[in-house]
Amino acid sequence: MTAVVGALAAVTVGLAPHAAAYDEQSKQWYLGEMEAETMWKVSTGKGVKVAVIDTGVNPNTPSLKGQVLADEVPKAVAYKATDDYGSHGTSMAELIAGTGAGGGLKGLAPGAKIVPYRVELEGLKGEAEKEKTPEPDQAVRAAADTDAKIINISFGGMTTDKDEAAIKYAASKGKLVIAAVGNNAGPGESGVIDYPAAFPYVIGVASVNRSFSVSKFSSYGSYVDLAAPGEGYPGWCDATFRSYCDNRHGTSPAAALTSAAAALIWSAHPDWNVNQVVRSMIDTAGRRNPEKGPSKYIGYGMIRPRLVLKNPHYNPGPANVDPLAKDNGGDLLAKSGTKPSPTPSASASTASQAPEKASGGATSAAGSSAESSNDSNTLWIALGAAAAVIVIGGAGVAVMRARRAR
């Protein structure tokens, strides 16, 4: 089975190549909106490793020098891990942990490290010597056996039983698996969410644009968990790595930024486990009317790691309770060997930790309704000091969130 980049690949709208030296950070609009400089005073993601399963990662771009731990890729799946045949994986890695050196992309978690995994993705030219290149499920399992805390999957097409088993294995090891939901909502498209984002124990990420509108291409449905910026950013034009191109977009970068946000939180709280990191992200996510339950367009809302980092006494709730256990059909996200507790989880929406009133509060994953809100018109997000209104593209109707339980 060959996984598919297809619609999940970062798409370029109006190529604008740049010769060195670059000035890409100034075009990363979301860094200002998310108050990245303020967050970096608290956490840069240091000490957290992110497994990037993709087209490979080039460790020699100015922004990634010293950031890629190629020697930590298990040998069985390490074939040409640093030979990126499509530039997709390198762009995702820079969005996560790029240092911005040489004017390149600055990662949202520039202190984190990248562990690269090169897999075959249909639609990109990387088919040579297939027998030596691992399948995505093999890479996921290998990453699960390392000390990488986060597994980023910015592609779709992992649809087999082997793929699902690999995801469950990673979850049982306490890994946070984050994936793009797909770019299937454009004209003539079905809007259907892709796998692995639709599997249990995966955080599926949708895209919003610079106006904080849900991206017209972003897939939607009952498997969307969070949303992040996914439009109007630079990325490498091709595998020659000679220039960046402007106006790249897709749910791929949205997933990468969500992985980076998780790295910021985990670095600041290394004693937390995956349940607590996930709960903190869900409970601080921004959207209007969270009491009505998750939206099929942005799930629990837009990532806002700032709200976690600014509170040194943030209560992430119990470690042995999966905040998405009802959605996942069980508790595999807990630490290995622990049992779910019947005690309700502590929520960041309690009075002591509630986000600003302007954001409409935050929803607790543990106590949210099983039915999505009929909020297809507007959503509310407070990214920085100011609040912004999200307008959903398309009408859409409320749907039952018969989520991942099988």
Residues belonging to the active site: 54, 88, 252
283 membership: H or E segment, kind and range: helix 274-284
Collect all residues with Cβ–Cβ distance below 8 Å to 255 and sequence separation of at least 6. 92, 152, 153, 154, 178, 179, 180, 205, 228
Helices 88-97 and 251-268 meet at what angle, rounded to 10? 30
Query: Are the C-beta atoms of 60 and 209 separated by less than 8 Å?
Result: no
- Which of 272, 274, 282, 243 is CA-nearest to residue 364? 282
SS3 217: coil
- Which of 251, 248, 232, 259 is CA-nearest to residue 192? 251
Q: What is the 3-state secondary structure (H, E, C) of 305-333?
A: HHHHHCCCCCCCCCCCCCCCHHHHCCCCC
Distance CA 276, CA 322 (A): 8
Strand ranges of the sheet holding 49-54, from the earlier edge strand across to the other edge? 113-118, 49-54, 150-153, 176-180, 203-208, 226-229
- Cα of first residue to Cα of last residue in the chain, in angstroms, is 23
Distance CA 319, CA 305 (A): 19
